[in-house]
Amino acid sequence: MQPINSKIVTVILVLILLMVLLYCYINQPYRFSIISAPLSELNEITKTNRSPSSEQKAITPNNRSDPTHIVTHEFHLVAPDHLQYQQPSIVFGRTDVVMVTPWLAPVVWEGTFNPNLLDSIYKLKNIRIAATVFAVGKYTIFLKNFLETAEQHFFVGFQVHVYVFTDRPLDVPQVKMSAGRQLTVRSVPNSQRWQEISARRMELIQKLIEDNLHSYADYIFCLDVDSQFHGRWGTESLGGLVGVIHPGYYRDDRSRFPYERRPESRAYVAPGEGDFYYCGGAFGGTLEEVHLLTKTCHTNFIDDAKEGIEAAWQEESHLNRYMWINKPSKVLSPEYLWQDFKPRNPEVHLVRFSGVIKNYAAIRPNV
Ligand code: 48C
């Protein structure tokens, strides 16, 4: 009897060992992940899942080429073959301006990029651009010029969706829009304080991204309405987080920047700190980046208000604090928001977008 018992015990032990090994093998984590990319990249993958050009190779995380699984990273730049253009140089170029920040973000100036090459690259990516503009109270008078000049200069030839926020929807002018471009009017309440109208933009842009845009646009630009376009504003401006350098201070020492200087404010920038002074009248980037910027600026603006503080230049102060910490991945020169009352400086070869001359006392609800 003894040998049979020991045989049975041995068989049972071997079976148990096999089951344990099988259980471990089945539950190894890597075995069933089709895409091991983290969720954020997964969103990226689904979002950029466009019909591929012949040149776009499918690149899946394990680099297996798989035509049913087209993914390209957001900033993967594919150029059409045989496109003819002047040979680029890394030793000859503009010497009167700086074209890169200390954190290696491009600073976009006229003459430093090839617009046809960039448009050819982005045409292949089938991108969609959203633009927000607020015309509350008497500021609706600026809409006609803004919209008509946007049609002539803002991402011409690309899919653009302009969102006009106003308390006077009937005053929004009819503007003929080219194919692939559309305009949506969103009603917002008026306010007795221009500071509040201006600052509230952050919250409304955040909500727009959350409610509507998250799967209908790739990039978004947020622009002042009391301005108009005079030159190209296009694919050269695309990037993750895009800041525009304010025309009023770009030659000054940062001690002269109108930052918020009270330490108790969440927009505080201390003396001896700050890179550039960015304007609140033009900023943009990918939906994700602009969502985080607007959400952060709105939250900080509200939290300041709860403590009875309103930053020196409202949301523009909070944007400058944000971009001091969260460095923009692309910086647009003052060509992208000039001021009509300023004579053009020699380094500004082209004014693309500019604030019009206006009488604030006549158009604002308060001083
Ligand atoms: O739509 C209005 N109505 C107002 O009464 C005050 C501001 N605004 C919006 O906020 C416009 O879109 C303005 O462009 C923007 C704030 N910017 C300015 O007032 C100047 N560009 C500094």
Within-domain flag for 268: yes
DSSP codes joined into one string, 38-95? -HHHHHHHHHT-PPPPTT-----TT----TTS----TT---PPTT---PPP-SSSS--
Euclidean distance between CA atoms 115 and 337, whole angstroms = 19
Give the range of the structural domain holding residue 265, as residue numbers without chain letter: 107-363
DSSP element (H, E) containing 265: none
- Per DSSP, 239 falls in state S
Per residue in 143-159, is it b (16+ CB within 10 Å) or e — as a string?
Answer: bebbbebbbebbbeebb
Within-domain flag for 23: no
Residue nearest to atom 13 of ligand 1 (CA): 224
Give the gyration radius of the chain's Cα atoms. 27
Walk along the chain (367 residues) and give the pLDDT tens digit of each residue: 455 688 888 888 888 888 877 776 655 544 333 333 333 333 333 343 344 444 444 444 444 456 555 555 667 999 999 999 999 999 999 999 999 999 999 999 999 999 999 999 999 999 999 999 999 999 999 999 999 999 999 999 999 999 999 999 999 999 999 999 999 999 999 999 999 999 999 999 999 999 988 778 999 999 999 999 999 999 999 999 999 999 999 999 999 999 999 999 999 999 999 999 999 999 999 999 999 999 999 999 999 999 999 999 999 999 999 999 999 999 999 999 999 999 999 999 999 999 999 999 999 999 8
Strand order, beta sheet including 128-134: 107-108, 330-332, 241-245, 278-286, 219-223, 128-134, 159-166, 181-187
Within-domain flag for 174: yes
Distance 118 CA to ligand 1 centre (A): 32
Residue nearest to atom 4 of ligand 1 (CA): 194
- Judge contact between 209 and 294, C-beta under 8 A: yes
Distance 332 CA to ligand 1 centre (A): 21
Strand order, beta sheet including 227-229: 227-229, 353-355, 338-339
Euclidean distance between CA atoms 154 and 233, whole angstroms = 5
Q: Which of 198, 316, 353, 366 to mutate to test the pocket of ligand 1 (most atoms within 8 A of CB)?
A: 198
- Judge contact between 294 and 206, C-beta under 8 A: yes
- Judge contact between 164 and 183, C-beta under 8 A: yes
Within-domain flag for 307: yes
Within-domain flag for 61: no
pTM here is 0.83
Residues 6+ apart with CB under 8 A from 289: 240, 241, 329
Within-domain flag for 64: no
Within-domain flag for 30: no
Distance 116 CA to ligand 1 centre (A): 33
**Ligand 1 binding site (Cβ under 6 Å of any ligand atom):** 134-137, 139, 194, 197-198, 224-226, 281, 355, 364-365
Within-domain flag for 323: yes
- Judge contact between 360 and 187, C-beta under 8 A: no
CATH, residue 296:
3.90.550.10
Q: What total number of domains does the chain contain?
A: 1
